[in-house]
Amino acid sequence: MNKPIRVLLVEENPEDIERLRNELQAAGMSCEFKCADSEGSFFKELQSFNPDLILSDYQTESLDGSSLLKRVRETHKHLPFIFVSWLVHEETVTEAMRQGATDYVFKDQLSRLPFSVLRALREAEEKYQLEHVQEKMAERERLNAFGQMASGIAHDFSNALMPVLGYSELLLNRSDDLMNSDKLRYYLKMMNMAAKDAVNIVGRLREFYQKRHPAESFSPVDLNQVVEFTILFTRPKWKDQALSRGAVIKIETDMEKLPKVHGNDTSLREVLTNLIFNAVDAMPKGGVIRVRAYAEPLRAVLEVSDSGVGMDEETCRRCFEPFYSTKGKRGSGLGLSMVREIVERHEGTVEVRSRKGGGTTFAIRLPFYFCKTGAVHAAASEERLFEPLSKKLNILILDDEAASVEVMAEYLTADGHETYSAASALEVMEKYKGRSFDLIVTDWILPHKGAGGHAWISQIRQLYPSVPVIMMTGFAELSQVRLRKNETGVTLLKKPPTLLSVREAIFKSVPAAA
């Protein structure tokens, strides 16, 4: 037995509501209806009722259908939204369709409504299915790229560990080196740099495979850093694999110092990764990839050019179409369609220039961050060097990893804070009952204690309802660890932390102490 169609009605006139019900039921359609007569009730029903279809008047005394449509499209891009209204100006109908309405049915022509509903539901299902297939293909493409670069990542990680292992063994086995302050400082500096390189390599793996949240977060992005990171990350593809088949590929950059753009750095790296991979495939005998960035009024331009085989006019025209590929079984035809989709989500544009045998250039234009927010961002780096707080704090460190506790305690005591440690909430109650703290630093999860994530925050809040908390997490990107609305006073800190990142987290958690 088919499930009834869940219909959310936005209509104030009881007679019109009854006419809509009768028209659909007369067409043999089994429907379940919910009515909304206010903005609050509309969005409540949208979430709880989860409609298959919205039928809305264009304008009621209390609701503006156009505004509802705009907000619905922010979170439900394929949900059928049909306006059912009296005769209006043709421009109103055109504008409604441009904003994302599925159809517009006049109330004196309700015989059209069943056909409109059936068509809208069918088209929505087709869009859902196509999107599902595209997501699967995109996932396969991402996995394929990930696999291609796995050996290169292992090579880079081994290189990063070599100074750590080598210099630490020298210090452990040659006591004279410990007495030589210059050599000792040099060894420690090299080990610290190598450890940061290793952290960056792990971060590259996380960021490359990180799945985007549907509500993609946008922030100021340094385009030069995106280029630098992506070139480094894709090196196994454009350098190592090319050399293994006897081809030499070089990447040349010409990067102006630009204001930051409005975007998501992970998604922009994915765009550039796809363009570099495309360029490599277009140069089977080797060549040069040129990456250039420069400013135009109110936007940044990123160009990726290659000296490869180029494309004919038809391929240029169709290259952004989903599933269109000239690579045969080697290509999914989704790489460039993903590029265009991501760029359009950034309110940017992408264009291609190419000729057969003459190489290809992709030009991406993205709005500057200050153009989207009104804030002014200088081109210079905005990194802040956080000094120790002037006020000294009593800080509780909650972690069951002794080495992590020791490092964090050293960071904090070096800045003059008093530290206390425990491995569980029970231990806190036994050791520090009655003691007050200014700040709690804890891991996101304590695997040996059966507490983690949101449950762990709840346990801490039972003991210390108003004390600020710094929650350390190594779970991919911090954007994947999402705090709940009631979890106030919690600052997330990515692992492994540095002295600078710890100071920054304290500054955010206890600003009054700065």
Residue 476 clears pLDDT 80, i.e. is over it = no
Place of tokens 């491995």: 423
Distance CA 392, CA 406 (A): 19
Q: Which of 74-78, 104-108, 341-345, 457-461 is the least confident region? A: 457-461
Say what the pLDDT of residue 252 is: 95
What is the three-class DSSP state of 491? strand
Instruction: Let me know if 390 is exposed, middle or buried by CB neighbors in 10 A (0-12, 13-18, 19+).
Output: exposed
Alpha helices, DSSP H, located in 76-174: 90-98, 113-173
Secondary structure string (H, E, C) spanning 435-456 = CCCCEEEEECEECCCCEEHHHH
Instruction: Let me know if 203 is exposed, middle or buried by CB neighbors in 10 A (0-12, 13-18, 19+).
Output: middle
Q: What are the structure tokens assigned to 445, written together?
A: 């999860």
For residue 116, name the pLDDT band (cuts at 50, 70, 90): very high
Task: Evaluate whether 315 touches 231 at the Cβ level (below 8 Å).
Answer: no
Say what the pLDDT of residue 210 is: 53
Q: What are 322-333's pLDDT values in tens digits?
A: 766 666 555 555
Q: What are the structure tokens assigned to 212, written together?
A: 């985007």
Q: What are the structure tokens assigned to 59, written together?
A: 């304008």
Say what the pLDDT of residue 94 is: 85
For residue 270, name the pLDDT band (cuts at 50, 70, 90): confident
Say what the pLDDT of residue 87 is: 65
Residue 245 clears pLDDT 90, i.e. is over it = no
Q: Which of 25, 70, 13, 72 is nearest to 45 (CA)?
A: 72
Bridge partners of residue 5, in order along the sequence: 31
Q: What is the pTM of this model?
A: 0.45
Q: What is the rounded average pLDDT of the residues 417-431?
A: 87
Q: Cα torsion at 397, 398, 402, 405 (round to 10°)?
A: -20
- Top-confidence residue, 298 or 202: 298
Residue 380 clears pLDDT 50, i.e. is over it = no
Say what the pLDDT of residue 289 is: 96
Residue 171 clears pLDDT 80, i.e. is over it = yes
Q: Which of 65, 497, 142 is nearest to 342 (CA)?
A: 142
445-446 vs 299-306, strand pairing mode: unpaired
Question: What's the mean pLDDT when you consider all of the chain?
Answer: 81
Q: Which of 135-149, 373-387, 486-500 is the least confident region? A: 373-387
For residue 193, name the pLDDT band (cuts at 50, 70, 90): confident
Distance CA 10, CA 22 (A): 16
Q: How far is the CA of 452 from the CAs of 398, 473, 477, 491, 499, in angstroms?
A: 12, 11, 17, 16, 25
Q: Which of 47-51, 90-94, 291-295 is the least confident region? A: 90-94
